[in-house]
Chain A
Amino acid sequence: MNDKIESQEKLSDSPIIQIIEMHKWFGDFHVLRDINLSVNKGERIVICGPSGSGKSTLIRCINRLEEHQRGRIIVDNIELTNDIKNVEKIRAEVGMVFQHFNLFPHLTILDNLTLGPIWVRKTPRAKAEDMAMYYLEKVHIAEQAKKFPGQLSGGQQQRVAIARSLCMKPKVMLFDEPTSALDPEMVKEVLDVMIQLAQEGMTMLVVSHEMGFARSVAHRVLFMDFGQILEQNTPKEFFSNPQHERSKLFLSQILH
């Protein structure tokens, strides 16, 4: 898994996510400035940058957990507006994995996974459960299906969270610092699942400081600071030859 995965499929040219001149403010604080980003189907992007740079806010805008105030965001040919029906449609197509897993503690693992398919996709329960077991096996955790989230370790919970998103058969997966809340020995099991997902051609946007992961699976690395995308390049170029002063400084601090 050390070498970069050669993507078997050719990247499709039609962008699945398009962000055009997007701005966002928290009160008076200008958190995202003039973001332009186009993501093709099958593309894998790792977003890095110092904390407070706006990277989490950026991916949270894509499924409208945060509202943008200027510019346009178009996901899967639907523009994100205040129309809640459109937003719900997009959210069903865009999976999200959170830093703190956010599993539903009152439901079993199996029910966590079948909730979306049953209520949003209207899948019959039996079929939803089969699908849930398929994805649980995929993240190597099928034997825990009847347990509750509180009985699982952090790494297991995060793998369940990934499987929960996959059950919706999303077109895009967003990862918001998926390994930063984990104990060091659990990071690998989660990254392995994400690498496996990358190999299958999932479109992924990953906010992460796991540079090894970025090297091995990303097509593109975005570097953000001050709410702007300061640099984007292939991982190879980005790590060996960063252009921007901020990226050089950032890399020198995290790569020892």
Chain B
Amino acid sequence: METATISVAATEEIKPPLTGIGVIGWARKNLFSGKFNTVLTLLILFALVKTVPPFIRWAFVDSLWSSESQACKEAAGACWSVVTNNFRFILFGFYPYDQQWRPILAIALLVAFVIYSHSRRRWNKNLLIAWPLGLALMGIIMHGGIFFLPEVETEKWSGISLTLLLAIFGLSAAYPLGVILALGRRSRLPAIKALSVVYIELIRGVPLISMLFMASVMLPLFLPEGITIDKILRAQVAIILFTAAYIAEVVRGGLQAIPRGQYEAAEALGLSYYQKMRLIVLPQALKTVIPPTVSILISAFKDTSLVVIIGLFDLLKTTHVTLSNPDWMGFSNEAYIFTAMIYFVGCFFMSNFSRRLEAQLKT
């Protein structure tokens, strides 16, 4: 009889203990547990009270949104008019004013593509073909010279369209190149391995700025007379080569994390090298290195702003130029906050996308 009661008692459902009830319970547990944490909480609260309300007053209450520069100089708050009045120059720079619907269209197209491709369920062969076609179409819209579109030379491409151009092409070409370099560095063929190692170490040992300088100043010296390569293209190639070296090292880390047994099982089935890599090794390796890869892509996106030093007018440079206008001098806080927001949206999208991708690929 006794054993029976024991077994009943043992199987009786026992609920987990209730720790902390309601707001007070939560706050006590998370904000005021112990002296040190209480002091810390109070300090942070004090700092927030001191900074947040003044910022909100400056940015939203006392601010001017679409005034002349003269009114701005007398206002106490933020002068967002520097952005609203120079909106089109900051975004599109020297792109001919009456043609600026074209970069708008191209960017809208890009955003549509990105949003459509956001979900992994839509990834298929058609989409893989649609992307290069779409990018080519954006290029045609921007460059023109055919149909009824007047030609706009690349020297005039500037602002956000240049930033996005450098970023999108830079990242999407650097990634596959980086994967190939990582595979090359782990190759058993000594020549390919040596070439990859030299490339990666050389590029990683040089700052991006010096690569941009080399591409814009030194490269033309070595080219035969009469041959010129587009300046944007040269900067683009420098960015691609630079980013690829970093991606290669991250991907190599992922490849090394794949157990030997996976290679052996793939080989034992009779898969060729390319099949083994494509079907077994890379899907697992690239998945494990999503977080560091996205870090590199995000920093590469921001590093496109370094092209200012070779005289390209990207988003940051057009903002800068706007501020050199005597009317709008001194409103750099507002203008740079606006530009930072644009960069932030791009970066946030990337990190958000990577988090979703990781969740979807979790097995």
A110 on interface, CB distance cutoff 8 Å? no
Tell me the chain A residues, 98-112 only, with Cβ under 8 Å from chain B.
98, 100, 102-106
With both beta carbons as reference points, the residue of chain A lying nearest to B278 in the complex is identified as: A119
Tell me the chain B residues, 264-278 only, with Cβ under 8 Å from chain A.
264-273, 275
B269:A115 contact, CB within 8 angstroms: yes
A209 on interface, CB distance cutoff 8 Å? no
A88 on interface, CB distance cutoff 8 Å? yes
Interface string of A65-101 (1 = CB under 8 A from B): 1000000000000000000100011011011101010
Q: Which one of B23-31, B177-185, B280-288, B334-342 is at the interface?
A: B280-288
For the complex, give the distance between the alpha carbons of A103 and B266 in Å.
Answer: 9
**A116's contact among B262, B264, B271, B273, by CB below 8 Å, is which?**
B271
Interface string of B250-262 (1 = CB under 8 A from A): 0000000001011
B363 on interface, CB distance cutoff 8 Å? yes
Counting chain B residues whose Cβ lies within 8 A of the other chain, the interface size class is 20 to 34
B270:A88 contact, CB within 8 angstroms: yes
B265:A104 contact, CB within 8 angstroms: yes
Interface string of A133-166 (1 = CB under 8 A from B): 0000000000000001010000000000000110
A168 on interface, CB distance cutoff 8 Å? yes
A148:B261 contact, CB within 8 angstroms: no
A92:B264 contact, CB within 8 angstroms: no
Interface core residue of B267, B273, B283 (most chain A CB under 10 Å): B267
Chain B residues in 8 Å Cβ range of A96: 265, 268
A120:B268 contact, CB within 8 angstroms: no
With both beta carbons as reference points, the residue of chain A lying nearest to B268 in the complex is identified as: A96
B275:A119 contact, CB within 8 angstroms: yes
A93 to chain B minimum Cβ distance, whole angstroms, is 8
For the complex, give the distance between the alpha carbons of A194 and B259 in Å.
Answer: 26
B279 on interface, CB distance cutoff 8 Å? yes
B270:A92 contact, CB within 8 angstroms: yes
Chain A residues in 8 Å Cβ range of B265: 96, 98, 102-104
A247 to chain B minimum Cβ distance, whole angstroms, is 30
**A106's contact among B261, B270, B284, by CB below 8 Å, is which?**
B284
B270:A89 contact, CB within 8 angstroms: yes
A168:B284 contact, CB within 8 angstroms: no
For the complex, give the distance between the alpha carbons of A116 and B269 in Å.
Answer: 6
B340 to chain A minimum Cβ distance, whole angstroms, is 38
A119:B261 contact, CB within 8 angstroms: no
B270:A91 contact, CB within 8 angstroms: yes
A60 to chain B minimum Cβ distance, whole angstroms, is 8
Chain B residues in 8 Å Cβ range of A150: 363
A57 on interface, CB distance cutoff 8 Å? no
A168:B270 contact, CB within 8 angstroms: yes
With both beta carbons as reference points, the residue of chain B lying nearest to A149 in the complex is identified as: B363
Q: Give the A-B pair count, Cβ closer than 8 A.
A: 62
Chain A residues in 8 Å Cβ range of B262: 102, 104
A105:B284 contact, CB within 8 angstroms: yes
For the complex, give the distance between the alpha carbons of A148 and B362 in Å.
Answer: 11
B269:A105 contact, CB within 8 angstroms: no
With both beta carbons as reference points, the residue of chain A lying nearest to B270 in the complex is identified as: A92
With both beta carbons as reference points, the residue of chain B lying nearest to A167 in the complex is identified as: B269
For the complex, give the distance between the alpha carbons of A88 and B273 in Å.
Answer: 10
Interface core residue of B259, B287, B363 (most chain A CB under 10 Å): B363
Chain A residues in 8 Å Cβ range of B279: 115, 119
For the complex, give the distance between the alpha carbons of A88 and B272 in Å.
Answer: 7
For the complex, give the distance between the alpha carbons of A92 and B268 in Å.
Answer: 7
B62 to chain A minimum Cβ distance, whole angstroms, is 56
With both beta carbons as reference points, the residue of chain A lying nearest to B269 in the complex is identified as: A116
For the complex, give the distance between the alpha carbons of A116 and B284 in Å.
Answer: 18
B270:A102 contact, CB within 8 angstroms: no
For the complex, give the distance between the alpha carbons of A168 and B264 in Å.
Answer: 16
Chain B residues in 8 Å Cβ range of A164: 269
Tell me the chain B residues, 209-244 only, with Cβ under 8 Å from chain A.
none
A111 to chain B minimum Cβ distance, whole angstroms, is 9
Interface string of A111-125 (1 = CB under 8 A from B): 000011001100000
**B267's contact among A91, A103, A115, by CB below 8 Å, is which?**
A91
A102:B284 contact, CB within 8 angstroms: no
For the complex, give the distance between the alpha carbons of A84 and B272 in Å.
Answer: 9
B261:A100 contact, CB within 8 angstroms: yes
Q: Given known contacts A115-B279, A148-B363, is B261 in contact with A102 (CB within 8 Å)?
A: yes
A63 on interface, CB distance cutoff 8 Å? yes
A102:B363 contact, CB within 8 angstroms: no
Chain A residues in 8 Å Cβ range of B280: 104
Interface core residue of A102, A105, A150 (most chain B CB under 10 Å): A102
Q: Given known contacts A105-B284, A148-B363, is B269 in contact with A120 (CB within 8 Å)?
A: yes
**A98's contact among B261, B272, B275, B287, by CB below 8 Å, is which?**
B261
Chain B residues in 8 Å Cβ range of A103: 265
B268:A65 contact, CB within 8 angstroms: yes
Q: Give 28 CB contacts A-B under 8 Å.
A: A63-B267, A65-B264, A88-B271, A88-B272, A89-B270, A91-B269, A92-B269, A95-B268, A96-B268, A100-B261, A102-B259, A102-B262, A102-B264, A102-B265, A104-B262, A104-B280, A106-B363, A115-B271, A115-B279, A116-B269, A116-B271, A119-B275, A119-B279, A120-B270, A150-B363, A165-B268, A165-B269, A168-B270
Closest 5 CB pairs of A and B: A92-B270, A102-B265, A102-B261, A91-B270, A96-B268
